[in-house]
């Protein structure tokens, strides 16, 4: 069994007056993996959450991908984008938002990543979930093809 730690969503924000501080930053991830001290405990890197957190995360999403990938603790990547970090953000289509999605797709190719990259929080399109799912998967496939063609 493997466990992939997912960050608070949104990170570090109180909900209903209750602090959410389990995995609010890069340092929190490091501490959790150090405490677990197991090859079966790693990271489910939610790119959207990381982008929502912005600078408060301690390291950017690319540094985080490389750090945990090099340690073979990058188990899953949730591929999502947002228009800005907290305090106010809006989830966007994969080609929108403030982060260059190609760099996000390329980063796991540069490190030992045996995990998967999957779409996350898929926006509604044409009143059909199949259309909504096809768009980000096609976009991700194109980015992955480009990253592999360029080599790392």
pLDDT tier at 74 (50, 70, 90 boundaries)?
A: very high
pLDDT of residue 112: 82
Residue 152 has pLDDT above 70, yes or no: no
Decide: pTM greater than 0.85.
yes
Closest CA to 91 of 120, 55, 58: 120
Look up the CATH number of the domain holding residue 105: 3.20.20.150
Top mean-pLDDT range of 4-8, 17-21, 82-86: 82-86
Domain that holds residue 65: 3-150
- E strand residue ranges, the chain: 3-5, 41-46, 74-79, 81-82, 91-92, 116-119
Q: Measured between alpha carbons, how far apart are the two ends of the chain, in Å?
A: 30
| Cα distance between residue 50 and residue 59, in whole Å | 9
pLDDT of residue 81: 93
Alpha helices in 37-108 (DSSP H): 47-53, 61-70, 101-106
Number of domains in the chain: 1
Mean pLDDT of 52-75: 94
Mean pLDDT of 100-125: 89
């Amino acid at each position: 069994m493997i466990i992939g730690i997912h960050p608070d969503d949104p990170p570090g924000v109180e909900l209903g007056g209750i602090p959410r501080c389990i995995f609010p930053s890069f340092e929190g991830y490091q501490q959790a993996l150090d405490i677990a001290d197991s090859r079966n405990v790693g990271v489910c890197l939610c790119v959207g959450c990381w982008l929502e957190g912005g600078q408060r995360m301690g390291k950017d999403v690319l540094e985080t991908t490389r750090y945990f990938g090099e340690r073979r603790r990058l188990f899953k990547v949730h591929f999502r984008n947002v228009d800005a970090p907290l305090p106010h953000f809006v989830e966007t289509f994969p080609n929108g938002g403030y982060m260059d999605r190609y760099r996000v797709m390329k980063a796991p190719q540069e490190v030992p990543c045996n995990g998967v990259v999957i779409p996350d929080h898929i926006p509604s399109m044409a009143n059909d979930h199949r259309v909504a799912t096809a768009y980000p998967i096609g976009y991700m496939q194109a980015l992955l093809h480009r990253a592999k063609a360029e080599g790392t």
